């Protein structure tokens, strides 16, 4: 039965692992809000069912690209004839407008800790755009005002979440063909699946673990993990979760136990097998490289559509981008207190302010980038040292630099639409979404050739008039400056060439369709 049609009410007839105690709580017989998506007749066959398990998903909760992927990929998979459920924590910080539409499916108690402590698992469901979202409800773990706090709290939280997600699938009597887990927060799912759920319905599902960012792994001391998971001793072997002398690593365990590993670009799939990018897991990844694949992310082209984007002062398509972008630029300059001049080149930066994003390169050359004809707009939050640096630039260059030290979706849309170029000089970048959104909005990306940036931005070739942006290879500030200067040269000296690149960028396919097909093929590889 397709999961999107109605709430599945099951308790008595379902098989669950002995240790998962299921209380016979009666689900409230209430229908969720269902907004139907038309099913295309020419869907690829066979149909596949997939449970996405992860810790964030736009628009409920998002701190970065993971939230975008958890939203957009399920939607794209539905168009590839997949039946998708997304399992998420029910964080208290999810907006009331969503909380109030969630429908209670059921609840049970689940054994978790080595001393036999058990925890409440509630399931709240929300159906939207053909995707079923099941939220794992537990106030003890998810009542903070934000999804992540510190490892002391986060480790137990995601031990609980991984096991609760599997138990919830059994509880709902929904056994997917594939369990698709995302990042370290869901990495224990394949570990628990092997240790405790092998003889239950959900044990039949094949598992995929996607690495969105290898830097975050969920590492803590072994006794704490043993307490919060009650996992058998063999899971703390060096080949599975153990790391160093006394720690265990959630991501490492997931990578060992899952049936397939994917990461979000081909280049990153290769990079993470090297010591520089491998974050101490390169040898582990090399060992498991036979099941490692890279599939580049896309973006949601309904949300990111300059022609219908309600947040923009002037909408546009590739046909009128050159004129309309100027209007967006003038509005942005006015709103942000910049000198209003459509001929200035506006360079944007929308980013978490952390070392990963190459900000130290930008701060080294910042004063050389700003000249009489160039303006700079930042949107981001993060490390204090960078926030302070950009605040001071705004002070120094009043009317030329605007630093928005905040997280603001609306401003993000406006900056993508109004900027001429967008900087993404990352030290490493698994995929990167900002360069994709930039291209979709006719904004030329200036990127370092790493990870997904390398796979998605074709360097400008002045002789053949091809390419989508400006790139540089080694992580050196002067190479970034050189790339920015090459962009400026084209912008100020060959506007026709620049405008043609803007149109090429807008016409580039950055949607999820191609990637969703690739994911589907992997699903079929695992369950033909
Ligand atoms: P990461 O996941 O490493 O932060 P990505 O490029 O994959 O980087 O995704 C970043 C996403 O977050 C993009 O959708 C970008 O527009 C958005 N974003 C980043 N910083 C902000 C901000 N300060 N305000 C609004 N959106 C932001």
The per-residue pLDDT for 7 is: 37
Closest CA to 102 of 75, 136, 129: 136
The number of the ligand 1 atom at minimal distance from the alpha carbon of 297 is 7
Domains and CATH numbers, the chain: 48-298+515-526 (3.40.50.2000), 321-507 (3.40.50.2000)
The number of the ligand 1 atom at minimal distance from the alpha carbon of 352 is 20
**How many angstroms is it from 287 CA to the middle of ligand 1?**
32
Structural tokens at position 445 = 């990306």
Contact (Cβ atoms closer than 8 angstroms) between residue 469 and residue 455: no
**How many angstroms is it from 434 CA to the middle of ligand 1?**
7
The number of the ligand 1 atom at minimal distance from the alpha carbon of 429 is 3
Strands (E), 272-425: 292-294, 345-350, 374-379, 401-404, 421-424
What are the C-alpha distances in Å from 13 to residues 22, 24, 30, 173? 11, 11, 21, 9
The CB of 381 under 6 Å from ligand 1? The reply is: yes
**How many angstroms is it from 484 CA to the middle of ligand 1?**
21
Structural tokens at position 180 = 């698709």
The per-residue pLDDT for 41 is: 60
Structural tokens at position 240 = 């599975």
| Helix or strand run (H / E) with residue 82 | strand 82-89
The CB of 154 under 6 Å from ligand 1? The reply is: no
pTM of the prediction?
A: 0.88
Q: Say how far apart CA 498 and CA 346 lie, in whole Å.
A: 14
The CB of 36 under 6 Å from ligand 1? The reply is: no
Which residues, in sequence order, are CB contacts of 133 under 8 Å at separation 6+?
A: 57, 60, 85, 86, 88, 125, 126, 127
**How many angstroms is it from 350 CA to the middle of ligand 1?**
7
Ligand 1 atom 17 nearest Cα: 64
**How many angstroms is it from 3 CA to the middle of ligand 1?**
31
The number of the ligand 1 atom at minimal distance from the alpha carbon of 412 is 25
The per-residue pLDDT for 130 is: 83
Closest CA to 351 of 375, 320, 382, 397: 382
The per-residue pLDDT for 26 is: 40
The number of the ligand 1 atom at minimal distance from the alpha carbon of 68 is 14
CA–chain centroid gap for 161, Å, is 18
**How many angstroms is it from 64 CA to the middle of ligand 1?**
5
Q: How many CA atoms lie within 13 A of 197 on its CB side?
A: 30
What are the C-alpha distances in Å from 185 to residues 213, 249, 338, 505? 11, 11, 41, 34
Q: Say how far apart CA 160 and CA 188 lie, in whole Å.
A: 9
The per-residue pLDDT for 255 is: 98
Structural tokens at position 471 = 């790139």
Residue in 185, 433, 438 to alter for ligand 1 test, most ligand atoms within 8 A of Cβ = 433
The number of the ligand 1 atom at minimal distance from the alpha carbon of 62 is 12
HEC-encoded secondary structure of 243-262 = ECCCEEEHHHHHHHHCCEEE
Contact (Cβ atoms closer than 8 angstroms) between residue 348 and residue 416: yes
Per the listing, tokens 């998002």 go with 62
The CB of 69 under 6 Å from ligand 1? The reply is: no
Contact (Cβ atoms closer than 8 angstroms) between residue 217 and residue 184: yes
Phi-psi label, residue 66: left if phi above 0, alpha if psi -120 to 50, beta otherwise: alpha
Contact (Cβ atoms closer than 8 angstroms) between residue 469 and residue 483: no
Closest CA to 62 of 382, 409, 325, 338: 409
The CB of 379 under 6 Å from ligand 1? The reply is: yes
**How many angstroms is it from 379 CA to the middle of ligand 1?**
9
What are the C-alpha distances in Å from 421 to residues 92, 308, 400? 37, 21, 15
The CB of 429 under 6 Å from ligand 1? The reply is: no
Ligand 1 atom 9 nearest Cα: 65
Ligand 1 atom 4 nearest Cα: 64
Q: Which mean pLDDT values do the consecutive 10-residue runs of the chain (528 residues) have?
A: 38 38 40 50 86 96 89 94 97 95 97 97 94 96 90 96 98 97 98 98 98 96 98 98 96 98 97 97 98 95 95 97 97 97 97 96 97 96 97 97 96 98 97 96 98 98 96 98 98 97 97 95 93
The per-residue pLDDT for 3 is: 41
What are the C-alpha distances in Å from 524 to residues 48, 82, 294? 8, 11, 16
Q: DSSP of 167-219, one letter per residue?
A: HHHHHTT---SEEEEETGGGTHHHHHHHHHSTTSGGGGSEEEEEES-TT---E
The per-residue pLDDT for 42 is: 75
Q: Say how far apart CA 257 and CA 2 lie, in whole Å.
A: 28
The CB of 323 under 6 Å from ligand 1? The reply is: no
């Amino acid at each position: 039965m397709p999961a999107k049609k109605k709430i599945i009410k099951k308790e008595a007839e379902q098989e669950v692992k002995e240790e998962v105690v299921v209380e016979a709580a009666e689900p409230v017989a209430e229908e969720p809000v269902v907004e139907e998506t038309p099913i295309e007749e020419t869907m690829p066959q066979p149909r596949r069912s997939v449970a996405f398990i992860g810790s964030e998903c736009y628009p409920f909760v998002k701190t970065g690209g993971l939230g975008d992927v958890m939203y957009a990929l399920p939607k794209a998979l539905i168009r590839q004839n997949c039946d998708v459920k997304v399992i998420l924590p029910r964080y208290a910080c999810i907006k009331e407008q969503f909380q109030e539409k969630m429908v209670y499916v059921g609840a049970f108690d689940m054994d978790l800790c080595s001393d036999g402590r058990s925890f409440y698992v509630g399931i709240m469901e929300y159906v939207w755009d053909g995707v079923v979202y099941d939220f794992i409800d537990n106030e003890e773990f998810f009542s903070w005002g934000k999804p992540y706090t510190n490892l002391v709290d986060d480790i137990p939280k995601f031990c609980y979440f991984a096991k609760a997600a599997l138990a919830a699938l059994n509880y709902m009597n929904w056994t997917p063909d594939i369990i698709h887990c995302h990042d370290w927060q869901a990495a224990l799912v394949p570990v628990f699946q092997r240790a405790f759920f092998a003889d239950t319905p959900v044990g039949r599902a094949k598992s995929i673990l996607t690495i969105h960012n290898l830097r975050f792994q969920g590492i803590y001391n072994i006794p704490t993990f043993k307490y919060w998971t009650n996992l058998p001793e063999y899971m703390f072997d060096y080949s599975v979760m153990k790391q160093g002398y006394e720690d265990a690593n959630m991501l490492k365990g997931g990578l060992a136990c899952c049936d397939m590993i994917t990461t979000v670009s081909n280049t990153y799939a290769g990079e993470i097998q090297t010591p520089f990018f491998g974050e101490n897991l390169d040898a582990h990844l090399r060992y498991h490289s036979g099941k490692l694949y890279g599939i580049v992310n896309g973006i949601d082209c309904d949300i990111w559509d300059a022609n219908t984007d309600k947040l923009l002062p002037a909408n546009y398509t590739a046909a009128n981008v050159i004129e309309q972008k100027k209007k967006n630029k003038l509005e942005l300059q006015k709103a942000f207190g910049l000198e209003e001049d459509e001929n200035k080149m506006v360079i944007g930066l929308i980013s978490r302010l952390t070392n990963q994003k190459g900000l130290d390169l930008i701060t080294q050359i910042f004063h050389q980038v700003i000249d009489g004809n160039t303006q700079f707009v930042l949107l981001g939050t993060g490390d204090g040292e960078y926030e302070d640096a950009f605040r001071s630039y705004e002070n120094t260059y009043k009317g030329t630099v605007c630093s928005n030290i905040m997280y603001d979706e609306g401003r993000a849309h406006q900056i993508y639409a109004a900027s001429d170029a967008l900087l993404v000089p990352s030290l490493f970048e698994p995929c990167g979404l900002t360069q994709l959104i930039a291209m979709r909005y006719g904004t030329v990306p200036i990127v370092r050739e790493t990870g997904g940036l390398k796979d998605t931005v074709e360097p400008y070739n002045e002789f053949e008039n091809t390419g989508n942006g400006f790139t540089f290879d080694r992580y050196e500030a002067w190479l970034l400056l050189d790339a920015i200067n090459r962009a400026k040269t084209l912008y100020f000296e060959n506007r026709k060439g620049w405008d043609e690149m803007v149109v090429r960028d807008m016409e580039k396919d950055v949607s999820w369709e191609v990637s969703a097909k690739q994911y589907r093929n992997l699903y079929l590889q695992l369950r033909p």
